[in-house]
């Protein structure tokens, strides 16, 4: 069973309702001063290590009694899987996650730690999407995708609420420039919806790897432009390997996003190191893409205070050492 798409864009009131709903389980992550005129929003500090707990909990908390009995199935390379597993455990809901067989071990362990069942498929996104739909149809479970759901987008949008509030608390009055990693687009859709509703003068940019720049191409043509999975699989940013933006987030990006900048693999790796040395933050490559944009693509941004949303920190220890010493 999938949630119907009513064709609307999410509203500020819906995002505010999500903020109240997730308050018991999601952190109001800090806005950390970084370099002059720049701040970091470290969603890597969330209980499951990424921003995904916001959208997952907002969605599952709205299940009816019957839906809770039916359980939830999802497809994810890792962070959304962990978030669904945690939200389901907290709410007493059975969860089954379809993951790629090359998912990082730390993310697989996180899903298992929260008691969710796992079914592994091949490495391509369409494989796990298809299998999750099969399971939902066969077993009558509720399918909650990682991005293509308005409830998920509203949960992720709570980050945008916090950014605007925290900049005001810090006395920053100038229009902000917000950088958000973009894969399937749920995070960028939510953050841009909230920020633009509260600060129409703000700019929001997606940041994605040059090896998986499907969102850049899709926005340029104002239609979904899929990249082959064998191309997107080349980036170290495993959370940003979707072959195209999801349709519901893309509808929001067409309205709210000011552009997409791309960063290369060396810049992503360097950003992981800068986060460790200068901000004492552990980031996975996907979570460091926005920081890479701040560090290496500043000349592509308008003037103003810059906020980089650091989306996650679930990185295998061995891989992390390689990134820091390579």
DSSP string for 264-278 = -HHHHHHHHHHHHHH
Answer yes or no: are the C-beta atoms of 62 and 197 closer than 8 Å: no
Cβ density class 147-157: b for 16+ within 10 Å, e for less: bbbbbbbbbbb
pLDDT at 294 over 80: yes
| Alpha-carbon torsion angle 197, 202, 206, 210, nearest 10 | 160
Answer yes or no: are the C-beta atoms of 167 and 305 closer than 8 Å: yes
> Cα–Cα distances in Å, from 145 out to 24, 74, 115, 252?
23, 6, 19, 16
Our answer to whether residue 52 is catalytic in this structure is yes
User: In the prediction, which pLDDT does 38 show?
Assistant: 98
> Cα–Cα distances in Å, from 52 out to 6, 29, 162, 267?
23, 13, 15, 24
pLDDT band at 1 (very low <50, low <70, confident <90, very high): low
| Cβ atoms < 10 Å from Cβ of 78 | 28
pLDDT band at 127 (very low <50, low <70, confident <90, very high): confident
* Assigned token pair, 256: 């709210």
Catalytic hit among 41, 52, 107, 196: 52
Average pLDDT score over the chain? 95
Answer yes or no: are the C-beta atoms of 250 and 221 closer than 8 Å: no
Domains for the chain: give ranges and CATH numbers: 12-49+149-325 (3.40.50.1100), 54-143 (3.40.50.1100)
| Residue 10 CA, distance from chain mean position | 17
> Cα–Cα distances in Å, from 251 out to 2, 45, 127, 246?
18, 29, 24, 9
Our answer to whether residue 77 is catalytic in this structure is no
User: In the prediction, which pLDDT does 3 show?
Assistant: 76
Average pLDDT over residues 38-44: 98
Dist. CA 191–CA 197, nearest whole Å = 10
Answer yes or no: are the C-beta atoms of 170 and 136 closer than 8 Å: no
Q: What is the pLDDT of residues 49-61, one digit of tens each?
A: 999 999 999 999 9
> Cα–Cα distances in Å, from 123 out to 55, 104, 112, 120, 292?
24, 12, 19, 9, 26
Dist. CA 159–CA 152, nearest whole Å = 12
């Amino acid at each position: 069973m999938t949630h119907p798409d009513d064709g609307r864009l999410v509203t500020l009131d819906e995002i505010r309702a999500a903020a109240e709903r997730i308050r018991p389980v999601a952190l109001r992550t800090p806005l950390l001063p970084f370099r002059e005129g720049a701040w970091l929003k470290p969603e890597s500090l969330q209980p499951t290590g990424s921003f995904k707990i916001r959208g997952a909990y907002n969605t599952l908390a709205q299940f009816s009694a019957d839906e809770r009995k039916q359980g939830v199935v999802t497809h994810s390379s890792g962070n959304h899987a962990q978030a669904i597993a945690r939200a389901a455990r907290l709410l007493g809901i059975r969860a089954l996650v379809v993951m790629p067989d090359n998912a990082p071990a730390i993310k697989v362990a996180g899903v298992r730690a929260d008691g969710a069942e796992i079914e592994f498929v091949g490495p391509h996104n369409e494989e796990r999407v298809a299998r999750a739909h099969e399971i939902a149809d066969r077993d009558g479970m509720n399918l909650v995708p990682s991005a293509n759901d308005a409830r998920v987008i509203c949960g992720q949008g709570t980050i945008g609420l916090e950014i605007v509030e925290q900049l005001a608390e810090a006395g920053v009055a100038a229009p902000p420039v917000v950088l958000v990693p973009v894969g399937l687009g749920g995070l960028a859709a939510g953050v841009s919806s909230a920020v633009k509703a509260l600060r129409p003068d703000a700019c929001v940019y997606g940041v994605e790897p040059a090896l998986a720049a499907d969102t850049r191409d899709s926005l340029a043509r104002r239609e979904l432009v899929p990249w082959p999975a064998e191309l997107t699989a080349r980036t170290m940013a495993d959370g940003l390997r979707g072959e195209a933006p999801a349709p519901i987030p893309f509808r929001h990006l067409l309205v709210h996003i000011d552009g997409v900048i791309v960063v290369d693999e060396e810049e992503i790796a360097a950003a992981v190191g800068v986060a460790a040395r200068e901000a004492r933050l552990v980031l996975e490559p996907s979570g460091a893409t926005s920081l890479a944009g701040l560090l290496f693509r500043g000349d592509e941004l308008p003037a103003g205070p810059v906020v980089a949303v650091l989306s996650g920190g679930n990185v295998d220890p061995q891989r992390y050492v390689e990134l820091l010493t390579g």
